[in-house]
Amino acid sequence: MPITCTALEGIAKNCDNNSGGIYAIWFIPQDNISLINENIVFPNYQITAITLTAPLVLFENFFVRRNTSNYTEETAVDLINGSTFVTQTINAVFHRRDAAKSNALKILGSGQQYLAAVVLDANGKYWYFPFMQLTATGEGSGTARADGSKYTVTTVAENENLAVEVILSGGTAAYTALGLV
């Protein structure tokens, strides 16, 4: 008996400009999200609403400078075991080391907690990454004066799907209500 899989979908030609990099990253403990409204049916594949567990809990902005940070997604397919998952990695650089940033990063990684992240890319698109964990921090003072001091931070998740675009119904007010501005 044949197994029914999802029908193939094409990729249309796109004439829009394409830019790399990240403009902003927001994190929140995964436990603070009570509901995600996903529309993962062709052609949308988007999140239309995010509901938080408490009204005073918001996503926290981790400011990144232009041309310093990125995300990658790599799909691993095991044909023998029949498993497929996506390793999602967010690499962020935070300039100028200080106690406040050290403390924020310590809290971000505390207890190896699961984090939800929303990333604003250089194309103006918001992407949702669930179940991230802080896996590495690095860097230091730099060597030459022009190097500057910095933190490099890596968060990683293994999820079933690629990141889903966030297009909240309610427009700018919906993003503001979550702290995504």
**Res. 154: pLDDT tops 90:** yes
- The token pair at 71 is 């995300």
The answer to the question of residue 39 being in a domain is yes
Q: What CATH number corresponds to the domain at position 100? A: 2.30.110
The answer to the question of residue 157 being in a domain is yes
CB 176 within 8 A of CB 58: no
Domain enclosing residue 59, as ranges: 22-178
Task: Report helix, strand or coil for 42.
Answer: coil
- The token pair at 142 is 């730099």
Q: How much is the pTM?
A: 0.87
The answer to the question of residue 47 being in a domain is yes
The answer to the question of residue 5 being in a domain is no
Alpha-carbon gap, residue 15 to 90, rounded angstroms: 27
Nearest to 75 by CA among 8, 159, 169: 159
Contacts of 164 (CB under 8 A, 6+ apart): 38, 40, 45, 46, 47, 127, 128
pLDDT, one tens digit per residue, over 1-39 is 556 677 777 777 777 777 889 999 999 999 999 988 887
**Res. 115: pLDDT tops 80:** yes
Count of domains forming the chain:
1
| pLDDT band, residue 42 (cuts 50/70/90) | low
The answer to the question of residue 141 being in a domain is yes
The answer to the question of residue 10 being in a domain is no
Mean pLDDT of all residues belonging to the chain? 89
**What is the reported pLDDT for 2?**
59
